[in-house]
Structure 1
Amino acid sequence: MRLAVYNVENLFDRAKVMNHGSWEDGRPVLDRFAALNGLLGQLSYDENDRAGMARLMIELGLEKSDTGPFVLLRRNRGGLLKRPKTGGIEIVAEGRADWVGSLELRDEPINEHAMRNTARVMSDLDADVLGVVEAENRPVLSAFNREILPAIGGTPFRHVMVIDGNDERGIDVGLMSRQNYPIGAMRSHVDDYLPNGEPVFSRDCPEFEIVTPRRARLIVMVNHLKSKGYGGKAASDAKRRAQAERIAQIYEGLIRAGVEYVAVIGDLNDTPGSDPLKPLIEGTSLTDVFEHGAFNDGGHPGTYGACTARNKIDYMLLSPALYGKVEGGGVFRKGMWPGVRPKKWDTYDELKRPEEAGSDHAALWVDLDI
């Protein structure tokens, strides 16, 4: 069977700030968005909080309206702020209970060529089981499967599943599989909590059971760990390490229960030697498929952006028994922008500009004799 994973970076809509560049390009906006959300969520606001909120709102383009170029402030009820005629913003709420609403990243439709190139990658992988990262939700993934895949000559998957995670922006993980690879038992971990009361997973760490035509039982855990895209480095690293520790615990529990075939796949948002990923990569019996002699990285060590070693953030980690069943594998980059001077890899003819890339991420695949 062929198992694959692909970060599609949303299918029909994407955060506007990310539709016009990379994570690094959008980082100033994302950092301000995270900081403002943190202040708005506090139970009570002091003078410094209010001053910080007003400053961040102005920097995010909200001085004149609740709709900025990249963010949207929803005020459903209560009083949060005033906009004096003389300019500026005045925060009038005493705390979070004084108003009902939210701060959101604005979405816009994805470039049509990019959407079709995403579908081409999903089709050309020819996977029996495909882990999907950054799908908006199950209805969207199902619609993409039914409508866009056939439009580019692909065959829709028989089974499509996404369990809503903890990310309110609609960045979830899911699984698609073919007729003879039904999705069996599923277990969500959205309700796993840290000691401070926060959810462990930014999205989820679902366990999907797949039974192969040979009756082998495979557990696929699809993940998307805390991004480096916004928020402080120390807090992001700590969150990602806590997530890696919890995944390791779940994996060890499966092994103790007698499950032989386990795959942890997805975008882990850090490099193999990083401290946050040590509990998972060095602290368990899981092995990165990149280390297998039959795996071809296409001449580039990374999976994101320029695909350098520091851009190796997508993974297929396999249990010992599953690693022993690997027959081949590789990195699929035809839907990624290859750069210029020189062009780093071959792409689809339809990919003429960076914004037409199916994703900034490569897809990974592995053939398993199970």
Structure 2
Amino acid sequence: MKLAVYNVENLFDRAKAMNLDTWEEGRPILEKFAALNGLLGQLHYNPADKTRMAELMRDLGLEKSDTGPFVILRRNRGGLLRRPKTGGILIEADGRADWVGSLELRDEPVNEHAMRNTARVMIDLGADVLGVVEAESRPVLAAFNSEILPALGGSPFRHVMLIDGNDERGIDVGLMSREGFPIGAMRSRVDDRLPNGQPVFSRDCPAFEVATPSGARLSVLVNHLKSKGYGGTAEANAKRKAQAERITAIYREMTDNGERHVAIIGDFNDTPASAPLAPLLDGTDLRDIFTHPAFDDGGYPGTYGLCNAANKIDYMLLSPALFDRVRAGGVFRTGMWPGSRPKRWEAYPEVGRPADAGSDHAALWAEIDL
């Protein structure tokens, strides 16, 4: 069987703030969105909260309308705010119970060339079991599978599963599998909590049980750990470390219960030598597919951007029994922008510019005798 993982970076729609030319442009918008959402969710608003809310709303383009260039403020009932004719914003609600509504990121369609190149990667990988990262929802993933893959000559996957996670931006993780590889028992971890009551996982850490034609069973945990670029560095590192520690505990529970064939895959948003990932990479017997003698990294150590060592952030970690059954593996970069001076790898002819790339991430794959 062939197991693969791919960060698809959304399939049809993506938050406009995440679709800007560079992460540096979108990051301040996403941080202000998160800060305002946090304040709006409080039970009680003190004067300082109200002042800060008004400032953030102005920064997000909501001074004159509930629709800004990147966010939408939905007010269904109650009195959250007033916009005087003289200008400005006055927060009139004293807490979350005083109004009904939500703050949402505005979406826009993904570049059509990028969407089709994402599909080409999924087709050319030829995976039997494919973990996907940053897909909007199960209906979107199912539509992409049934409409876009066949339109480009690919065969749709037989099974498509995605459990809605904790991220409000619509970047969830899921699993797709072929005929003969049915998805059985599933377990979500969206409700796992830190000591402060916050969710452990920014998205989820779902465990999917997959049966193989030989009768063997494979457990796949798909992950997308806390990003380095969203929020303060110390806070992000602490969150990523807590996630790695929880995945480690989950893995140990599984192996203690007799599971031998376990794969933990996804975008971990950090490098192998990083302190946040140490509990998972150094504190378990899991093996990184990059270390297998049959693995071909294509001449570059990374999986993101230009694939330098500092960009090795996508992983396929395998339990020892599974690692021993690997017959081949590699990094699939054909859907990525290859750079221009010089080009680092051969890309699809349709990847004429960075915006046309199927993803900024490479896909990882492994042929496993299972």
Asked if Structure 1 and Structure 2 have the same fold, meaning a TM-score greater than 0.5 normalized by the shorter chain, the answer is: yes
Partner of 1:253: 253
| Matches of 1:22 and 1:345, distance apart in 2 | 22
Hey, what does 1:132 align to over in structure 2?
132
What does the per-residue CA deviation read over 1:231-282, in whole Å, with 9 as the maximum and x for residues that have no partner? 2222222221111111111100111111111000001111111121111111
Aligned equivalent of 2:313: 313
Q: May I ask how many residue pairs the two structures share in their alignment?
A: 370
Partner Cα distance (2:97, 2:300) in 1: 51
Q: For residues 22 and 213 of structure 1, what CA distance do their matches in structure 2 show?
A: 44
Q: 1:259-278 residue pairs with structure 2 within 5 A?
A: 259-278=259-278
Aligned residues of 1:166 and 1:203 also touching (Cα < 8 A): yes
Helix, strand or coil at the partner of 1:339? coil
| Aligned counterparts of 2:68 and 2:252: Cα–Cα separation in 1 | 46
2:145 aligned residue: 145
Which residue of the partner structure matches residue 109 of structure 2? 109
Q: 2: distance between equivalents of 1:153 and 1:178?
A: 16
**Equivalents in 1 of 2:39, 2:336: separation in Å?**
37
Contact 1:8–1:118 under 8 Å retained in 2: yes
Structure 1 portions without partners, runs of 5+:
none
SS at match of 1:266: strand
Cα drift, residue 44 of structure 1: 1.5
Partner Cα separation in structure 2 for residue 229 and residue 66 of structure 1: 27
Cα distance in 2 between the residues matched to 1:38 and 1:294 = 47
Determine the structure 1 residue equivalent to 2:174: 174
Distance 2:232 2:333 in 1: 30
| 2:66 paired residue number | 66
Query: Identity, % of aligned pairs?
Result: 74
Q: Distance in 2 between matches of 1:25 and 1:317?
A: 33
The letter of the residue matching 1:153 is G
List runs of 5+ in structure 2 lacking aligned partners.
none
Q: What is aligned with 1:209? A: 209
8 Å CA contact 1:70–1:106 kept in 2: the answer is yes
Instruction: Give the counterpart letter for 2:297 in structure 1.
Output: D
Q: 1:4 to 1:236 in 2, by over 3 A?
A: same
State the Cα distance separating 1:308 from its structure 2 match.
1.6
- Aligned residue for 1:191? 191
**Is the CA contact 1:34–1:230 (under 8 Å) kept in the aligned structure 2?**
no
Output the aligned Cα RMSD: 1.3
Q: Distance in 2 between matches of 1:184 and 1:106?
A: 35
Q: What residue number does 2:338 align with?
A: 338
SS in 2 for 1:317: strand
* Residue in structure 1 matched with residue 122 of structure 2 by the alignment: 122
* Structure 2 equivalent of residue 8 of structure 1: 8
Q: SS of 1:72's equivalent?
A: strand
Deviates further, 245-254 or 76-85: 76-85
What amino acid is the match of 1:54? Answer: A
The normalised TM-score by structure 2 is 0.97
TM-score, normalised relative to structure 1 = 0.97
Following superposition, the deviation at residue 30 of structure 1 comes to: 1.2
